[in-house]
Structure 1
Amino acid sequence: MVKGVFVTNEVSSAASHDAGFATRVRSALAWRWGTQVLAQLITWTSTFGVIRILDPADYGLFAMTQAILTALAFMNGYSFATSLIQADNISDRRVGQVFGMLIVAGVMLAVGQLLLAPYAAAYYGQPKVEDMLQVQAVIFLATPFIALPSALLARRIEFRSQGLVNLLCAITGASVALGMAWAGYGVWALVFAPIAMAAVRAIGLTISARLLVWPVFDFRGAWDIISFGGALTLCQLLWIVQSQSDIFIAGRVFSAYDVGIYSTALFLALIISGKFIPPINEVTFPALAELHKGGKPVAPFFIRMLRTVALVTAPLYIGLSVTADAVVPTIAGEKWAEMIPILAGLALAMPFFALQIVCSPATNAIGKPRIYVATSAAGAIIFPTVFLFGISGGPMGLVHAWWIASPLLLAVTLALTLPAIQIRIGDLLKELLPALVGCAIMAGSVLLLKPLVAGLAAPLQLLILVPIGGFAYGASLWVFWPSVMRETWSMLRNRSSDANDIPVSA
């Protein structure tokens, strides 16, 4: 009898822990993703206003500097801070050592960018790039006060304060960018907005995390931090090679105008995967790490998350592709008309890209960063290679390169990731089928109706086509997969539709 009571209590305790974990994860997702959506709405409003004021050449110059800044950023020490998330235990000394590493890295990168600026300007043949890079170097000095508190808050799966800080940053950046552009500062509006955001984020996160530790510059006994962080740093380097190779290659071959057209189209295409997926990863990584440390399988949680990402991002991208000829004039004006086919083409590659991005937290959480290194290496080889071949076709040649590289990298990533977390490809494809069918029905509906509204102004076309496409997509899911529709909506609303809404046990 005693044994029965003990077992019952144990099961009850485990169930309570699982329910509490699920609630924490849903709350974290709601805050991190919800505030990200609001922040992006603010940023988009400002960005679309700035795009109408500035010229494509301004965005071309800014993209050239971003390729350099991002290329250096892999050494900013973020990955050392990330090591605190998956560690079993941390002490004040351990946190201080990470803080010290971040400070050393930030100062070295700021000095390095100052010295590199004139050579980058000579490479691009754009003297203004030197001044822009020298001013942007200050961003690296704020990194320690962003990376460390972010990691400490993520370890506790606390994203409410991070979300609020992000909202404040969005308001700050939007105000600076739009105000300076309106005042006639040109490309400098794009330079100073991220600097202002970095300053606000550093102050806000430091206060939120109650970071009171002093930096420790004695790194003895920190080999585990260095080894784990080193693996992620290598991945970051490989990611930068993958993500910046198109601008680095095109910047020397294309005019600033063509670089501006392509880079702005890429920016718009990456808004969803580049802005909404990383917050999901920020929550997924500590959540999966906690599951793994508790001896629970990560596969159910991961596959549900992958399905949710597909259901949300795929229709947005396919919809963007089939309505690009109305989207570009509406948000950017007629002077950006050359961007229409580029944006439409890039949007077709982005669903594959979004799915690939959400795979790395799973393998990192189970202590297998080598898989992340391998997939990052694959991306660093695949993307520059296809860009080198595609560059001869101009901006559209780079778009065609995306069509090859993005699905290929996803295939490599899944081939390495799924066996590690014990998921069969057939099970994954079954989960992704609703998004595939729904997008096909949605695209077909919009394409059938486009000729009927072709004579209307671009904004009016969107007012008609977007609701119709959304209705077609939602109706197809509701008719063929109503349970999937309910589960996904419940997760996005931070509510549990049933006991398996967020699976945390076998």
Structure 2
Amino acid sequence: MVSESTDFKEDGQPSESATAFGDRVRSAVIWRSGSQILAQIITWGSTLLVIRLLDPADYGLFAMTQVVISFLAFLNGWGFASALVQSDSIDPFRIRQAFGLLLLLNALLAAIQYFGAPVAAAYYGQPMVAELLRVQALIFLATPFIALPEVMMSRALDFRRQAIVNLVAAFAGAGTALGCALAGYGVWTLVYAPIALFWTRALGLTIAARLLVWPSFDFRGCGQIVGFGSAVLFSQFFWLVQSQSDIFIAGSRFEPHALGLYAEALFLAQIFMAKFVPPLNEVAFPAYSRIKHDLAAVQWSFLKTVRLLTLVAAPFYCGLAVVAAPMVETLFGTKWLGMAPYIQLLSLALLVMTVQILFAPVNNALGKPSLSMFASLGGAFIFPTAFLIGANWGLEGIAWAWLVAAPLLLIVTARLSAPLIGVSLLDIGRAMLPGLAPALVMAIGVGVAEQSLGALGWAAPIRLALLVAMGVALYAALLWLLEREAIAEVSRLVIRRRPPVQDAI
């Protein structure tokens, strides 16, 4: 979200007007977020059918492989390519260098995963993990053809063509998943679907960006790419230690069925943070990069982003926590009801995490990715420590660990980043309050209603429909009574009102 009262410059030359730039950012947000919502609707439709056909143990085995892939993926060079967004200017040779670097890194990662798969399988005590990992190595080979065109289009705030490609890829992944599940492929369904999605995106983005360039393996003079990308790389590594350590710790202690319940609860609870916030950050990074010389505009834009995102995230997470049981029973079936206690705890923790990850794009845009790296380092210490302690009380103890560690990490991140942005912890708290306070009141009301409806013995789908309707109505009413300015702010973001046309004299 960008202030419309500031003139921006790039390369020392006057840029487009602030209003025109604000319109471009607004369009980028709508295209990127809108396409993400549609893609998720497609994916969820397929997932709800697939999850009824597969067993929790399938998801437990798949979760084990994702820890390995995630730890390797932080080396895929995306951070090096992102340096092209932050740079004031680029030339064709630097693009070729970035492409060459992406090809080398991802070919190496694919080889490491393929030949190192038996080691992971031995750690988990599940021979099937090795077979799954070897096939999933194909994902790394698609990454260079996704990262470079996506970065170049993001630099130009061109998210319309990305949106179209992402929707086509979502159909390809969803169709593959449903077809494989119906054909009885079991856990392989969860492997083939992402491969179809990644390679569809790779082909589509390369064509859309018209960016099939010849790679250069002459890396002389690419210090800025390596310097910026290295800080981003370490941030990603520490983030992965933080976010994957729960499955890594639990994978060797609990059997696949129980781990599958926890992993899918985490996936569901993370949907908003993992699926909707990253697209906003993708727009925010180039937008902040354009206004990085105007600190007042950066500060205003950051607080506005926190405020608007909390207006959506707070009711989602608070509502999810109180309707977890009827939602799981309705959407996934009774065999997945063990997810509900995990969802209730994780939802509250991930509300805090949603705000925490908003700091990274502004730090990177201001040329200080090291701050995000140190924040991630804090998370890499806080979360595994909490998970190791919580594991003594089972998987539910690990879920409780999220609820303790997430607020601590937000405090650490804010203390590191707030001085750079020019905001205080109090400013951030005030920005969150318009969405958080009504959401908590709404959750209390819906929670009381759930207890009453459950005591009456009503079917889960009926309870879920009534509770969701009640939650939406109650939250909307509270916003109308207490935060009308917040509603107006959201309206101004979505609906661009043009100035009236003056009559000719």
In structure 1, the partner of 2:375 is 375
CA contact (8 A) 2:295 2:421 kept: no
In structure 2, the partner of 1:461 is 463
1:317-344 CA deviation, whole Å, 9 max, x = no partner?
A: 1100000111100111000111111111
**Partner Cα distance (1:133, 1:16) in 2:** 48
In structure 1, the partner of 2:37 is 37
Q: How does 1:4-153 map to 2 (within 5 A)?
A: 17-153=17-153
TM-score (norm 1): 0.94
Query: Sequence identity, in percent?
Result: 48
1:240-262 CA deviation, whole Å, 9 max, x = no partner?
A: 11111111111111101111010
Q: Which runs of 5+ in 1 are unaligned?
A: 1-9, 499-506
In structure 1, the partner of 2:475 is 473
Query: Structure 2: which amino acid aligns with 1:132?
Result: L
Deviation at 1:16, TM superposition (A): 6.6
Deviation at 1:425, TM superposition (A): 2.4
Instruction: Give the SS at the match of 1:298.
Output: helix
Deviation at 1:358, TM superposition (A): 1.1
Are residues 74 and 134 of structure 1, via their aligned partners in 2, closer, same or farther at CA, if it must alter by over 3 Å? same
Query: Structure 2: which amino acid aligns with 1:395?
Result: L
Deviation at 1:179, TM superposition (A): 1.1
**Partner Cα distance (2:147, 2:381) in 1:** 28
1:173 aligns with 2:173: yes
Are residues 293 and 155 of structure 1, via their aligned partners in 2, closer, same or farther at CA, if it must alter by over 3 Å? farther
**Partner Cα distance (2:431, 2:225) in 1:** 36
Q: How does 1:96-495 map to 2 (within 5 A)?
A: 96-293=96-293, 297-454=297-454, 455-491=457-493, 493-495=494-496
CA contact (8 A) 1:106 1:141 kept: yes
**Partner Cα distance (1:216, 1:139) in 2:** 22
CA contact (8 A) 2:50 2:181 kept: yes
Query: Structure 1: which amino acid aligns with 2:377?
Result: A
Instruction: Give the SS at the match of 1:171.
Output: helix
**Partner Cα distance (1:121, 1:444) in 2:** 45
Deviation at 1:15, TM superposition (A): 11
Query: Structure 1: which amino acid aligns with 2:384?
Result: P
Instruction: Give the SS at the match of 1:276.
Output: helix
Runs of 4+ in structure 1 deviating by more than 6 angstroms, as ranges, are 13-16
Query: Structure 2: which amino acid aligns with 1:136?
Result: Q
CA contact (8 A) 2:169 2:197 kept: yes
Instruction: Give the SS at the match of 2:319.
Output: helix
CA contact (8 A) 1:490 1:497 kept: no
**Partner Cα distance (2:337, 2:449) in 1:** 22
What is the number of residues matched between the two proteins? 487
**Partner Cα distance (1:331, 1:395) in 2:** 22
**Partner Cα distance (1:136, 1:14) in 2:** 47
Query: Structure 1: which amino acid aligns with 2:481?
Result: V
Deviation at 1:424, TM superposition (A): 2.4
Deviates more, 1:21-30 or 1:474-483: 474-483
**Partner Cα distance (1:242, 1:278) in 2:** 17
Deviation at 1:483, TM superposition (A): 0.9
**Partner Cα distance (1:295, 1:212) in 2:** 37
Deviation at 1:295, TM superposition (A): 6.9
TM-score (norm 2): 0.94
Q: CA RMSD in A?
A: 1.7
Q: Which runs of 5+ in 2 are unaligned?
A: 1-8, 500-505
